[in-house]
Amino acid sequence: MPEKSALADQRSATYNAIVATYKIMFRKMTEMLLNEGLTQPQFQALRVVAKYGPTPMKTISEKMSVTAANVTGIVDRLESKGLILRHARSDDRRATIIALSAKGKRVQEGVSGKTAKFVQEALREFTPEEQETLGRLLAKLQEEMSHTGSRARHGRV
């Protein structure tokens, strides 16, 4: 029985380390973004549009995993800051296309550079091999976590 307890303790410690790391990253990123006048969801929306170019609001909603109503509020605030441009699709006026303004592109690139620097600094004490291992393990954990809920619902945990 002690082996199960040790395994449970290890899983608990791993979980606690992941949660603590997430909290630190979220707090630091939130502070960085607030200094730029952005929220996490606003920056995420800017990143989606920067990655895909002029993008339908529906796609932004899907990529961010939030409701269309949520994206509307985010886009409204980004538009009021002059960071995005909104226009109707020529072939379907019901669909709204979102593009970065020149200011939005500058802000998105600047903040992306700062976030990349933050991550580089956080990983500077890791060897390239450790960084590769960490990335691989986190990707594996993400994959497992994305399937765990569906397996539990279907009795396959």
Contact between 33 and 111 (Cβ < 8 Å): yes
Render pLDDT for 74-119 as a digit per residue (tens, 0 to 9).
999 999 999 999 998 777 777 899 999 999 999 999 999 999 999 9
Predicted local confidence at residue 95, as pLDDT? 81
Confidence band for 6, pLDDT divided at 50, 70 and 90: confident
For 21-39, b/e burial (b = at least 16 CB within 10 A) is: eeeeeeeebeebbeeeebe
Domains and CATH numbers, the chain: 2-125 (1.10.10.10)
Predicted local confidence at residue 149, as pLDDT? 61
Predicted local confidence at residue 5, as pLDDT? 86
Query: Which residues contact residue 100 at a Cβ distance below 8 angstroms, ignoring those fewer than 6 apart?
Result: 46, 49, 50, 83, 84, 85, 108
What angle (nearest 5°) sits at the alpha carbon of residue 121, between those of residues 136 and 118?
Answer: 90
Render pLDDT for 31-84 as a digit per residue (tens, 0 to 9).
999 999 999 999 999 999 999 999 999 999 999 999 999 999 999 999 999 999
CA atoms in the 13 A half-sphere facing the CB of 27:
6
Predicted local confidence at residue 4, as pLDDT? 75
The whole-model pTM stands at 0.78
Contact between 58 and 95 (Cβ < 8 Å): yes
Render pLDDT for 11-31 as a digit per residue (tens, 0 to 9).
899 999 999 999 999 999 999
DSSP string, 51-115: HHSSEEHHHHHHHHT--HHHHHHHHHHHHHTT-EEEEE-SS-TTSEEEEE-HHHHHHHHHHHHHH
For 41, counting Cβ atoms within 10 Å of its Cβ (0-12 exposed, 13-18 middle, 19+ buried), the class is middle
Predicted local confidence at residue 146, as pLDDT? 86
Predicted local confidence at residue 43, as pLDDT? 96
Residue of 34, 33, 57 whose CA lies nearest to 45 = 57
Confidence band for 153, pLDDT divided at 50, 70 and 90: low
Predicted local confidence at residue 57, as pLDDT? 93
